[in-house]
Amino acid sequence: MTTQEASAKNPPTDAARAKRRHQTYSRFVHWVRKTHGWIGLWGALLGLVFGLSGIWLNHRAVLKLPLNQQKSHAQMALADPPPNTPEAMGQWLAPALGLSGPPNSVRIDPAKALPWAEKGANQGETPRQPERWVFNFGGPHETVQVEYWKGNRSVGINTTQHGFIAALTNLHKGTGMTVPWILLVDTIAGSMVFLSISGVILWVQMNRRRAVGVGIFSVSVLTALGMVLARL
């Protein structure tokens, strides 16, 4: 007699089905507990960094810690002929400035009229402000901003050296960060979501006052949704 025939002849009792459900649920809770611990360990270091920098940002008016920033300005002549597109300019600037990577971001301000300027005596036209390109390089310890007005033969370079507190603040806010850092922060954000949900599951398992836990979690979710909707 095969196993299927035996199962069909002797169907599982209610007690056997309940035992099977209990075993499945126990394995699920064990997996949640184990994963909760590993993900908590993964986010511990960066969570500490974000926590300390977040406290300082929230109370920076009182905790007046020195940023130790050193700023400098310089001019650099362009190649002949100068790059004629923002993409070409970004590719030219990186090696010219001795930087290892492309710009983190590029902002293009279109040309626009200056209505407050006096009209030209001959043409009778309002002077226009030329198109402006702004390139941002660097990371938390150093940021380099390059400004180019289209038609000029040089660019302006603003360099800022950041001390420890300023670098920590830049890490928290993501200033000058590259895509890998942004994706890393996304994993921390995802970990916090998982830790919140798994924490509620474990709390319910270890505490008999489940209604209280569900109520607190529901209030937290509604508060978060209210804050999000208020921003829309």
Q: Residue 48: its pLDDT value, please? A: 78
Answer yes or no: do 74 and 153 share one domain: yes
The whole model's pTM is what?
Answer: 0.56
Q: Tell me the C-alpha distance between 62 and 67, whole Å.
A: 14
Answer yes or no: do 145 and 208 share one domain: no
Q: Tell me the C-alpha distance between 96 and 88, whole Å.
A: 12
Answer yes or no: do 190 and 220 share one domain: yes
Answer yes or no: do 204 and 122 share one domain: no
User: Do 126 and 119 contact (CB within 8 A), yes or no?
Assistant: yes
Answer yes or no: do 90 and 55 share one domain: no
Q: Report how far apart, in Å, the C-alpha atoms of 224 and of each of 202, 214, 219 are.
A: 21, 15, 9
Is residue 168 packed enough to be buried (19+ CB in 10 Å), middle (13-18) or exposed (0-12)? Answer: buried
Answer yes or no: do 80 and 58 share one domain: no
Answer yes or no: do 52 and 81 share one domain: no
Last residue of a domain, one of 131, 161, 191: 161
Residue 121 included in any domain: yes
Q: Residue 116: its pLDDT value, please? A: 60
Answer yes or no: do 144 and 190 share one domain: no
Beta bridge partners of 135: 106, 146
User: Do 174 and 185 contact (CB within 8 A), yes or no?
Assistant: yes
Residue 183 included in any domain: yes
Q: Which residue has the tokens 């895509």?
A: 179
Q: Residue 11: its pLDDT value, please? A: 61
Q: Residue 135: its pLDDT value, please? A: 95
Answer yes or no: do 83 and 121 share one domain: yes
Answer yes or no: do 78 and 144 share one domain: yes
Residue 166 included in any domain: no
Give the residue from 202, 186, 189, 196 showing the smallest Cα distance to 223.
196
pLDDT digits (tens), the chain, 232 positions: 455 555 555 566 777 787 888 788 788 888 888 888 888 877 777 777 777 777 777 776 676 766 677 889 999 999 888 898 999 999 999 899 988 888 888 999 998 876 665 555 455 566 778 899 999 998 777 889 999 999 899 999 999 888 777 777 777 777 666 677 778 778 877 888 888 888 877 877 776 666 776 777 778 778 878 877 776 6
Residue 7 included in any domain: no
Answer yes or no: do 58 and 74 share one domain: no
Coil, strand or helix at 133: strand
Q: Residue 121: its pLDDT value, please? A: 46
Q: Residue 4: its pLDDT value, please? A: 52
Q: Residue 133: its pLDDT value, please? A: 95
Count Cα neighbours of 154 within 13 Å in the Cβ-side half-sphere.
Answer: 6
Q: What domain count does the chain have?
A: 2
